[in-house]
Structure 1
Amino acid sequence: MNKTRCRAGRRARKKRRKKHEDFSIVTLSHEAQFVLLRRWLNERGFTSQSLIPVNFHDTGRGLMATQTIKAKNSVISLPEECLLTTSTVLKSYMADYIKRWHPPISPLLALCCFLISERHHGEASEWNPYIDILPKTYTCPLYFPDNVIELLPRSLQKKATQQKEQFQELFSSSQTFFHSLQPLFNQPTEELFSQDALRWAWCSVNTRTVYMEHDQSKYLSREKDVYALAPYLDLLNHCPNVQVEAGFNKETRCYEIRSVNGCKKFQQAFINYGPHDNHRLLLEYGFVAPCNPHSVVYVDLETLKVGLDEKDKQLKEKLLYLKDNDFLRNLTFGMDGPSWRLMTALRLLSLKPQQYTRWKSVLLGAAVSQDREDWCIESALKLCNNLTEDNVKALERLAQLKEGANQSGLEQLCVVESLRREEQNILGHTRGLLQNLLRQ
């Protein structure tokens, strides 16, 4: 009798879980914009019904498998006619303007200009069914105001600032080309090709293109042309633990993605953008992957210096030696503790004057002495604690800013908060490991 109750209890819990899971996703197939997109794709040869668009509670929009996808089988195969590439642009109404422009514009700028123009044309655009489902804004640092940039980890702040500067340079240097397109539009190009418009197009290309090598066009700059916007396929979300094989099949003339592990029916189908840590995912794609096995916490030079003895007369020389040997970058903490590079840098910084002859052997991985090894562990723990404190302050500030933020601002703050919480988790593991080492 008790066993019967237990079985009934398990069945009831399973039912409740299934009911909860059913409400955690919302199918989007019936929405007008997706109906139009599927019709548009069907006209270009894409007829597969094995994936449908769904709004998942944890990842947002994605694609769900309507049937089991076995290992090594195709996840999606998108015909070449559906892909938006520089070849598309160079066959369009923009072709003559691009071909006669010198010096040639980059493949990236060509795609950006085409996207801006097609969005402007609205329903008259051939690509409108695709343009219409693209995000209206992004959570990439390029969209972040300065007060949000300041809440990123210091090493990512620098990269985000550099990215903003590079974008600003692209916008400034493209003004004369934008103006040359004026005969194509009734609206002034200054309004049409605004900084906001270029930012939207730049993020659309950088976050949503698949890698596809193209023959170098004599009408474009020598920058590598590896972009292909892939409607519908780009709804697939990234998962760092999924393995896929992706590329353009020259025989079938389709961009194909095959699953290495397979995917169960009614589960979200994922792809893998590569072994990227969360800094790179946020910088390039505008999101953070929870429990990302590739994620680390970076120790920048300023953070490193805080934990060092300023009375060390050879400190500047040691830091210069580390810099000359490329040991002041990619110093990290991971789920398995401080990286080899970080511990090697600390070992060299720990050397006493009578141990300086061992500098080269230390960079090759040699330990020095037990007291110096203890110093390194204590220094690593101090660094860990400093980074943890920085995280706590950032999370407190994020909580304050979220209270009065609009929807766009809230999305930006939430992705930064996710990054900080992931890093806090890594630092917590590291702190435990280092404390155990000290006890031993």
Structure 2
Amino acid sequence: MESWLKSCGAVGLDDLELADFPVTGRGVKTLRRFTKGERILTIPSGILWTVEHAYADPLVGSVLRSARPPLSVEDTLATYILFIRSRESGYDGLRSHVAAFPTSYSSSLFFAEDELEVCAGTSLYTITKELDRSIKDDYRALVMRVLAQRRDLFPLDKFTIEDVGVIYYKWALCTVWSRAMDFVLPDGNSIRLVAPFADMVNHSSEVEPCHVYDASSGSLSVLAGKDYEAGDQAFIYYGSIPNSRLLRLYGFVVPGNSNDNYDLVLSTHPSAPFFELKQKLWASAGLDSTCTISLTLADPLPKNVIRYLRIQRLDESDFAAIAHRQLAAADEKINDSNEVEVLRFLVESFCQLLDGFGTQLEKLEEQLAEGVYPSGGNAWAAAHVSLGEQRVLRLARKRAEDLLSAAESESGDVRGSLPAMARCANCEKDSAQLMLCGRCKAIPYCGRACQVAHYKEHKAICRAIASKSGS
């Protein structure tokens, strides 16, 4: 591949070579010293894998261009990669690049069921399951729209969804996901590309962003993200990416990743009371009726979470009370009862999310320390994803609990509105000191332990009651 790249105008290959490294595996080794910011490698536009490059192909370009509806960038590149790999001649340089791709990937999409179960309860677990189904649907659509139309170019015995040798759709998609680079162009549009040899450079959070696209020439360059000595591994920086995304797209994790997060989805059904009024308030606050808000280690409970829920929990009397205030009133507390209701709901929700993890944080830490999951393996990686998300959610819960304690003290409402004497739904003890479920406001508990223990039994009725009230 190197000789082909040189003949096409690639610059810098004499100072680099592919090598195997103990932790990262295949990567790029420097053969001389580089100072930070120095150009290491440049790949010219003519040999970059892009949608435009695929469209310009004399054999398959017109087929890809004429697909209706148009193929996504990912499907276009994946189909083109499969096409080149299936050809026996005519694409020598491109074929040599494809031959350098890994024959398998360690993305969560390829995990055995027991390996994926290690991170049950995480966003990665849910997304991986959904993505696997989506890939099957996308493949069927690709067959109908493109592959079956030109079987002379796309023999279906080779262009399969699952493993037949190393030519199959899921493998090609993972090739694009793990090796493509994305850039925003000066006109605001974006470009996704795969750059031969440059796609072998691994990620490190210890280097600064150092791969650049020159829109005027169309070339891709890699700069030294730090000083290198001869024999060092060269790195690029993928970005501030949590382990869940690293494992899904690239097949690895960073233990103790400071970028770990949990994407909290907040949604309200259009049939909920006062939905249109609430929609206007959300819009004025830069939100929507369905929001995905990232909880992070640095900011486990962003203001937008509470702002959203303050608006969601407004009732008729609240609307009257805030009529004279700015529409962005959710930046401030609406009133005491609304604030307490929102924070109780958050605490309960975080408890339920944490209870849904297959293995709790302390147990995972113990298992990792004891070597239950072989270091670097799939289950080990899944465990680190679960650790990261649980740590974020625990910080979020603690923050919500602290805010709730302060709000209850300020309002004088410590346990909610209950009869003078009620009975815990879990242990059935009578007590004057009970709390209501923060979501449905109907079921009493004597404490958090009973609430969590009763959740599986209570979940269905809780959702039914809450949906009627629009929560």
Place the TM-score, normalised by the shorter chain, in its bin: 0.5 to 0.7
CA distance in 2, matches of 1:321, 1:113: 46
Partner of 2:273: 317
Checking the alignment, whether the CA contact within 8 Å between 2:243 and 2:385 is kept in structure 1 is yes
Encode CA deviations 1:376-408: one digit per residue, 9 max, x unaligned.
555444433333332353777998xxx99999x
Partner of 1:334: 296
Q: What's the CA shift for 1:78?
A: 1.7
Partner of 1:130: 97
Q: Could you say if the C-alpha distance between residues 135 and 386 of structure 1 is closer, same or farther in structure 2, counting changes exceeding 3 Å?
A: same
Partner of 1:194: 160
CA distance in 1, matches of 2:33, 2:278: 52
CA distance in 1, matches of 2:143, 2:373: 33
TM-score (norm 1): 0.66
Amino acid aligned to 2:179: R
Encode CA deviations 1:36-67: one digit per residue, 9 max, x unaligned.
x3344333333434444444444443334455
Encode CA deviations 1:293-330: one digit per residue, 9 max, x unaligned.
5432233459x99xxxxxxxxx9538887667325422
Q: What's the CA shift for 1:205?
A: 1.9
Count of equivalent residues: 377
1:183 aligns with 2:148: no
Encode CA deviations 1:184-240: one digit per residue, 9 max, x unaligned.
58xxx12111112111112212321223689xxxxxxxxx88332212211223345
Partner of 1:63: 28
CA distance in 2, matches of 1:130, 1:48: 15
Q: Could you say if the C-alpha distance between residues 238 and 133 of structure 1 is closer, same or farther in structure 2, counting changes exceeding 3 Å?
A: same
Amino acid aligned to 1:167: I
The farther-off stretch of 292-301 and 337-346 is: 292-301
Q: Secondary structure at the match of 1:72?
A: coil
TM-score (norm 2): 0.62
Q: What's the CA shift for 1:363?
A: 5.0
1:366 aligns with 2:301: no
CA distance in 1, matches of 2:328, 2:336: 14
Question: Percent same amino acid among aligned pairs?
Answer: 18
Checking the alignment, whether the CA contact within 8 Å between 1:74 and 1:257 is kept in structure 2 is yes
Q: What's the CA shift for 1:257?
A: 3.0
Q: Could you say if the C-alpha distance between residues 355 and 102 of structure 1 is closer, same or farther in structure 2, counting changes exceeding 3 Å?
A: closer
Q: What's the CA shift for 1:366?
A: 0.6
1:248 aligns with 2:248: no
Checking the alignment, whether the CA contact within 8 Å between 2:243 and 2:384 is kept in structure 1 is no
Amino acid aligned to 2:178: T
1:234 aligns with 2:199: yes
Task: Within 5 Å, give how 1:11-410 maps onto structure 2.
Answer: 37-46=1-10, 47-90=12-55, 92=57, 94-95=59-60, 98=63, 103=68, 106=71, 108-121=74-87, 126=92, 127-143=94-110, 151=119, 153=121, 159-160=127-128, 163-176=131-144, 177-184=146-153, 189-196=155-162, 197-211=168-182, 226-239=191-204, 242-244=207-209, 246-249=211-214, 254-259=219-224, 262-265=226-229, 267-301=232-266, 316-317=272-273, 325=282, 326=288, 328-335=290-297, 336-348=299-311, 355-358=318-321, 364-368=330-334, 373=339, 376-377=342-343, 379-393=345-359
Partner of 2:460: none
Q: Could you say if the C-alpha distance between residues 59 and 406 of structure 1 is closer, same or farther in structure 2, counting changes exceeding 3 Å?
A: closer
Q: What's the CA shift for 1:431?
A: 4.7
Checking the alignment, whether the CA contact within 8 Å between 1:211 and 1:247 is kept in structure 2 is no
Checking the alignment, whether the CA contact within 8 Å between 1:322 and 1:345 is kept in structure 2 is no
- Which structure has more helix as a fraction of its residues? 1
CA distance in 2, matches of 1:393, 1:296: 18
CA distance in 2, matches of 1:358, 1:245: 53
Checking the alignment, whether the CA contact within 8 Å between 1:141 and 1:149 is kept in structure 2 is yes
Match of 1:417 among 366, 383, 404: 383
CA distance in 1, matches of 2:158, 2:137: 18
Encode CA deviations 1:23-45: one digit per residue, 9 max, x unaligned.
xxxxxxxxxxxxxx334433333
CA distance in 2, matches of 1:92, 1:361: 54
Q: Could you say if the C-alpha distance between residues 56 and 379 of structure 1 is closer, same or farther in structure 2, counting changes exceeding 3 Å?
A: farther
Q: What's the CA shift for 1:167?
A: 2.9
Encode CA deviations 1:239-273: one digit per residue, 9 max, x unaligned.
456432544336666311335x5344355433233
Checking the alignment, whether the CA contact within 8 Å between 2:122 and 2:385 is kept in structure 1 is no
Partner of 1:20: none
